[in-house]
Amino acid sequence: MIEFWYEFASTYSYPAAMRIERLADEAGVAIAWRPFLLGPLFHEQQGLRDSPFNVVPVKGKYMWRDLERVCEEEGLPLVHPSQFPRNALLAARVAIVGLEDGWTPAFSKKVYEANFVADQDISSPEVLAPLVEEVGAAPEAVFAAAQGADVKARLKDHVEQAKARGVFGSPSFITADGELFWGNDRLEQALDWAQRHATREHA
Amino acid sequence: MIEFWYEFASTYSYPAAMRIERLADEAGVAIAWRPFLLGPLFHEQQGLRDSPFNVVPVKGKYMWRDLERVCEEEGLPLVHPSQFPRNALLAARVAIVGLEDGWTPAFSKKVYEANFVADQDISSPEVLAPLVEEVGAAPEAVFAAAQGADVKARLKDHVEQAKARGVFGSPSFITADGELFWGNDRLEQALDWAQRHATREHA
């Protein structure tokens, strides 16, 4: 098993979300989807109130070009969002709601496509409602749950867990034996690690 | 051809320097070794006066663990240096001196091993002198040249060139058509790009 920690505003998390199911399936490794928010970590760990890709323009310029190459190689469409980063709070809460019923992976991929392909404002309930419907859930009930105290607390707990595990970026992958891998370009390595150290799970 | 931009204090540049000749040879791509200094860029682009891995401890902790895994996978020894980052000014100047006579690659690999395997202070002439000898050059003459105005100016020019090309970290690879790739984990991709876009060089 690996935990997939992801923030919806994060650029490299888009290709990671689109690739992880196929690669994990090939590796015979289960995925625990762990939506979280990167903003509180960026602020607490690095004193940032914006994406590092905005704060350091030379890194931002490189990242967008690199992301183009990564997506091209994977055959994934990419549209530079007109707003970056977008507020992912509501989408993350909705993703928490879907965990029990199993529609979080499908919903999460749709949110990434809305942000990085359709260039839509993923903080808007009007944008998210059709995505919830498309995965077979009822937007009204889902949004009500997403704004409830329980889901808010669970998302906060995800952020705290991420921090406690040493996460500082998205996507991050954590194996059952606690190895942390950061970045879309570490996904294969994380799965390989999980495969080679799977004895605990079967013990 | 690809340009290999590297700073001797940089952790991930160690495996890159040890891998690049074999991989470039397999790809049929020539390497232009480009020693530079990252400090001035960190300061100018990010306002940093220390390595980001020291400034943000959670990233530093991850980096050292990730570097262990990377080196283990490559069969490279690694000793966490007792001082990080080390001042690489003299080593970079010496590397500039060696470019014309072709001993810069061999010398550079020895400097990385001194820093990241032998845990030696690569800012010290006493540490560097034997390495210069081992690659067949005369330390006294080399150090005299390294402190000369010409070499100082050439290293400054490398730093300016790096900045102008969008470099912000080490190792960086730049192809003949101007594509920038950052990080040891982008070396294969950079070589692949250089191979696929080599027409200009042969035109």
* pLDDT tens-place string over residues B123-154: 999 999 999 999 999 999 999 999 999 999 99
User: Which of A51, A54, A59, A196 would you mutate first to test chain B, the one with the most B CBs within 10 A?
Assistant: A59
Peptide bond into B130 cis (omega under 30): no
Closest-CA residue of A relative to B44 is A56
Phi (first) and psi of residue B180, to 5 degrees: -105, 130
Three-class secondary structure of residue B181 per DSSP: strand
Q: Hey, is the C-beta of A65 within 8 angstroms of any chain B C-beta? A: yes
Note whether B166 contacts A46, CB cutoff 8 Å: no
Q: How near does any CA of chain B get to the CA of A165, in Å?
A: 10
**Whether pLDDT at B200 is above 60:** no
pLDDT at A167: 98
- pLDDT score at B203: 41
A166 inside 8 A of chain B by CB: yes
Cα nearest neighbour of B43 on chain A: A56
Taking the domains of chain A in order of start, what are their residue ranges? Answer: 2-202
The CATH class given to the A2-202 domain equals alpha beta
Indicate the pLDDT class of residue B72, thresholds 50, 70 and 90. very high
Whether the per-residue pLDDT at A203 is higher than 80: the answer is: no
Q: Distance between CA B26 and CA B199 in Å, rounded?
A: 18
Please indicate if any CB of chain B lies within 8 Å of the CB of A180: yes
Task: Look at B56 and A65 and tell me if their CB atoms are within 8 Å.
Answer: no
Which tens digits make up the pLDDT trace of B161-170? 999 999 999 9
Going by pLDDT thresholds of 50, 70 and 90, the confidence category of residue B198 is confident
Confidence of residue A198 (pLDDT cuts 50, 70, 90): confident
Residues of chain B with C-beta less than 8 angstroms from the C-beta of A65: 179-180
Q: Which residues of B are catalytic?
A: 10
Over the stretch A64-77, which tens digit does the pLDDT of each residue have? Answer: 999 999 999 999 99
- CB contact under 8 Å between A65 and B181, yes or no, is no
Contact A185, B185 (CB under 8 A): yes
Each residue's pLDDT tens digit, B2-48? 999 999 999 999 999 999 999 999 999 999 999 999 999 999 999 99
> What is the nearest CA distance from B102 to chain A, expressed in angstroms?
31
The rounded distance, in Å, linking the Cα atoms of B82 and B44 is 27
A24 neighbors A30 (Cβ within 8 angstroms)? yes
Report yes or no: B54 at the A interface, CB cutoff 8 Å.
no
Choosing among A168, A172, A186, which should be mutated to test the B contact, i.e. which has the most B CBs within 10 A?
Answer: A168
Looking at the predicted structure, is the pLDDT value of residue A183 above 70? yes
Res. A182 pLDDT band, cuts 50 70 90: very high
Task: Say yes or no for a CB contact (<8 Å) between A56 and B69.
Answer: no
* Other CB atoms within 10 Å distance of the CB of residue B196: 9
